[in-house]
Structure 1
Amino acid sequence: MAWTGQQRVERVVEYGGYISIQPRAGYAAEVTESLRRCPTVGENVNVFLKEDVPEAFHYRAHRLILEIVVIAKEGYMIRPPQTAYSVPESVGSYEGNHGFDNTNGRNPDMRAVLYAVGPYFAQGVRAGVVEQVDVYNLLCRSLHLQCHANNGTLAHVEPFFRPGVPLETGTSFRHGVPLGALMFAVSALLFL
């Protein structure tokens, strides 16, 4: 890539299906336009200012999202800046990447499989599409916790549960394990 905007960019996070860029103060528009016009890059990615990211992505309101979001188009991936490869590069033999747009039926290969097993889940249920934003509701419901406001929909995961399982609230898990200990264990597993 011919663009040498290092002094205009503070930080680049992620790679693969998307990256986030934090430009130096006052350079957001310049960096965005440079990426959009860059030969062999601009036509293979969508570049958004944070506030312009499509609502369907649920990826623009959080304080940790950087000012510019670059999303690779289908068939392309974005390499980390320390590699000697072009940005973006055709995925070709790089199978198994994730982070590509799967909203509204796009890129069906980006779908995941959700298995729900436990004392509150119905057996043999095959549900329709469950969005990633619905998983929080599934976890809260299965742990008998009241969900905070979120972008998911409880009705999308309700078919997974046995009929008659009440939605309870409380601070401990069914078998007396303190909820804090359970959440610590789940968090530890996620970071392994």
Structure 2
Amino acid sequence: MPYKRRRRRKLNIPAGVLALIAALVVGLVAVVGQYEHIQDAREASISESNAALLQRKQAFIHRLVPYAKTLYVNYGVLPSITISQAILESDWGNSKLASDYHNLFGVKASTAESGQELTTQEFVNGQWQTVTGRFRVYSDDYASMRDHALLLAHGTSWNHNQYATVIAARDYQTAARALQTSGYATDPGYTSKLIAIIQKYKLNQYDTKE
């Protein structure tokens, strides 16, 4: 028996339904376009925010570089170490200790010195703990930088050679490890954090006496 091709039945869709479908499609396209516009605007805003943040960080570095190089000549502290410690200890100058009291390095005050009591995080007995400490107060950031260089060059009152290996170091990696072993900070990741900062922002380019 020969095969008979069946004719397709034509769908009779009411005009109102077609109009509704068309309106829905147009609306969906508009929503997608609006979403993409919002996403583009959000990404542009994030990009601008990141650019502004990077600019502020670079400004912080460039402000410290000239005096860090002077301190290198006078006391032997590598500029990359001075700057990376300032970044890490002060959160780019944003910590309360740095912004209010110009203490960029978390240097504590002795009992005979005037100081400001603040809470801080220290790694004690294998865990982070919130403790209260007395910290030195400075007239400006440069006074803090000089005091930090003097501390590393002349040591503490109980050990004048405490940071001698830091001063003797001729590269930032050796100096960063020496800070850790000399007991500058309780953070077990202190060395790796300093090295990461130095490498990310190429701070070792300033380790010259020229």
What TM-score do you get using the length of structure 2 for normalisation? 0.22
What TM-score do you get using the length of structure 1 for normalisation? 0.24
Larger radius of gyration: 2
Q: Looking at secondary structure, tell me which structure has more helix per residue.
A: 2
Q: Looking at secondary structure, tell me which structure has more strand per residue.
A: 1
